[in-house]
Amino acid sequence: MAESAAPWVRVTDQPLDVGALLDRVSGPDAGAATVFVGTVRNVNDGRAVTGIDYEAYEPMASRELAAIAREAVERWPGVRVAVEHRVGTLALGEASVVIATAHARRAPALDAQRFVIETLKQRVPIWKREHYVDGAWSWVDPTASSGAPVSSEGDAGLERPA
Amino acid sequence: MSQAVAREVTVLAFAAYADRLGWRRRTVALDGAATVGDVVAQCRLLPGGSVLPPSPLVARNARFVALAEAVEPGDEIALMPPVAGG
């Protein structure tokens, strides 16, 4: 496997291009490539979701994504990694995160993929606010037992501070 | 005469913390504050500050740090709810 280029990471408010990220890691030397796409799901904790706002602490979010991608390359030498996370308002089915990996062999490609998504969810300073069909919204707290919001909820029309 | 750096830090709040505190960015004076934890304690005294748990996730200059981390004038301190990306 050719020496890995520096992993590609980006936080963007533009729609994510799955094909473009796969192209970044693919190559004739890579017998295996993987793509993970995280999308906005229509229900969470029994509540019907209509959309999600993602907020990031930049530049720290990009920095942590880059660190995680570099760690994947260190643990699985030869793997290529590309990650993009979207911020802003996303509708049902839209992709919030896309991770592409490639390696000569499938085991490192798959293992690196799993590592990146699991680690990203624990470390990257990004938050998500779900909007529900009744007009209410709430920030998701992944540490709450049900994954339900804890600290801040509101109704449609509630202004967030500038 | 050289200009002294004001003994203050910039504090950023995100997501649910920003909603309850009512601000996303503010300047906090380092009145005797020596650690990031001291700055957090000052913020906890502000309106809505009770949203901050005893040991919130914090960053100093865009790096995760412990509350015991020393703070310096000009630092950017981030108060972060549990992350929920991906």
Q: Which two tokens mark A146?
A: 């049900």
pTM over 0.95: no
Residues in chain B: 86
Whether the CB-CB separation of B43 and B26 falls below 8 Å is answered with: no
**Identity at A162, one-letter amino acid code:** A
Residues on A contacting B at a C-beta cutoff of 8 Å? 38, 54-57, 59-61, 63, 85, 96-97, 117, 120-129, 139-143, 149-152, 154, 160-162
Partner-chain contact A152 B51, CB within 8 Å: yes
Q: Which residues contact B30 (CB under 8 A, 6 or more apart)?
A: B7, B8, B9, B39, B71, B73
Q: Which two tokens mark B46?
A: 């502000």
Of A32-36, A148-152, B60-64, the range with the lowest mean pLDDT is A148-152
Whether the CB-CB separation of A127 and B79 falls below 8 Å is answered with: no
Span A116-143, average pLDDT: 96
**Residue A110 scores a pLDDT above 60:** yes
Whether the CB-CB separation of A61 and B86 falls below 8 Å is answered with: no
Nearest CA in chain A to B23: A161
The predicted-structure confidence for A48-107, as pLDDT tens digits, reads as follows 999 999 999 999 999 999 999 999 999 999 999 999 999 999 999 999 999 999 999 999
Closest Cα in chain A, distance from residue B50 (Å): 10
Classified as helix, coil or strand, B32 is coil
Find the distance separating the first CA and the last CA of chain B, reported in whole Å.
Answer: 51
pLDDT of A107: 98
The predicted-structure confidence for A2-57, as pLDDT tens digits, reads as follows 655 689 999 999 999 999 999 999 999 999 999 999 999 999 889 999 999 999 99
Query: What value of ipTM does the predicted structure carry?
Result: 0.92
